[in-house]
Amino acid sequence: MKKTSLILGGIVLIAGCGSMTSSSTVDYTAELTQMLRNDFKSKGPATVERVVNRDDAQQLCSQYTEGVPKEVAARIEKAQLQTIKYPADGKYLGDWKEGEKVAQSGRGMQSSDAVGGVNGGNCYACHQLSKAEISFGNIGPTLYNYGKLRGQSDAIMQYTWGKVYNAQAYSACSNMPRFGHNGVLTEKQIKDVMALLMDPKSPVNQ
């Protein structure tokens, strides 16, 4: 009997959610936000604000589950492009060996990490970068021979930097983290990742 009641309760809840009007959905979102504020406890770099505060791009992307309309995507990309901060000294490339460390590391911004600690990029979780590393994800495209195939023109350098800094500037609602925009990686770290992708000596380009 108890199990049946739980199932029926779940069905009623789902049906209620499905029949909500746009105005009640807004109210539900507000209630959920307040619930998170009440129940989620900030610890280390994992803060309540990171959970509940969403910028315009995140709010727009959350509205669409089956593809973002072209006009909305264009609006997101235009706004996100304006957030990109290019290297202060005009130099895009750092040390590819340090970039490999960033790409391999998945640590950072968790409750068990120290505030202000060094984060990783966890690039291999989504991309193939080198032939030497046999463990990698395929959510994103392969980046093997990235620089070798594309060269080092100013346009390619700016695009690649922008893609790492804020992927939504080029692909609205991208699954790729906005590493620079959200302060996940420092300018130096992004330079090192750039070197990993672009330097002819990097294993990415061998």
| Predicted confidence (pLDDT) per residue in 165-206, tens digit | 999 999 999 999 999 999 999 999 999 999 999 999 999 999
* pLDDT of 142 above 80: yes
* pLDDT of 23 above 80: no
* pLDDT of 2 above 60: no
List, for residues 74-109, the tens digit of each pLDDT value: 999 999 999 999 999 999 999 999 999 999 999 987
Q: Given this model, what pLDDT does residue 33 score?
A: 74
Phi first, then psi, for residue 185 (nearest 5°) are -115, 150
* pLDDT of 141 above 80: yes
List, for residues 124-136, the tens digit of each pLDDT value: 999 999 999 999 9
* pLDDT of 13 above 80: no
* pLDDT of 111 above 90: no
Give me the architecture of the 96-205 domain, per CATH.
Orthogonal Bundle (1.10)
* Dihedral sign (CA 103, 105, 109, 115): negative
Residue type, 110: Q
The three-state (H, E, C) secondary structure of the chain, written as one string: CHHHHHHHHHHHHHHHHHCCCHHHHHHHHHHHHHHHHHHCCCECCECHHHHHCCCHHHHHHCCCCCCCCHHHHHHHHHHHHCCCCCCCCCCCCCCHHHHHHHHHCCCCCCCCCCCCCCCCCCHHHCCCCCCCCCCCCCCCCCCCCHHHHHCCCHHHHHHHHHHHHCHHHCCCCCCCCCCCCCCCCCHHHHHHHHHHHHCCCCHHHC
Residues 173 and 61 sit within 8 Å (Cβ to Cβ): yes
Q: Given this model, what pLDDT does residue 3 score?
A: 43
Phi first, then psi, for residue 74 (nearest 5°) are -65, -40
Domain range summary for the chain, segments of one domain joined by +: 2-81, 96-205
* pLDDT of 66 above 60: yes
* pLDDT of 70 above 90: yes
Q: Given this model, what pLDDT does residue 26 score?
A: 56
Taking all residues of the chain, what is their mean pLDDT, rounded to a whole number?
87
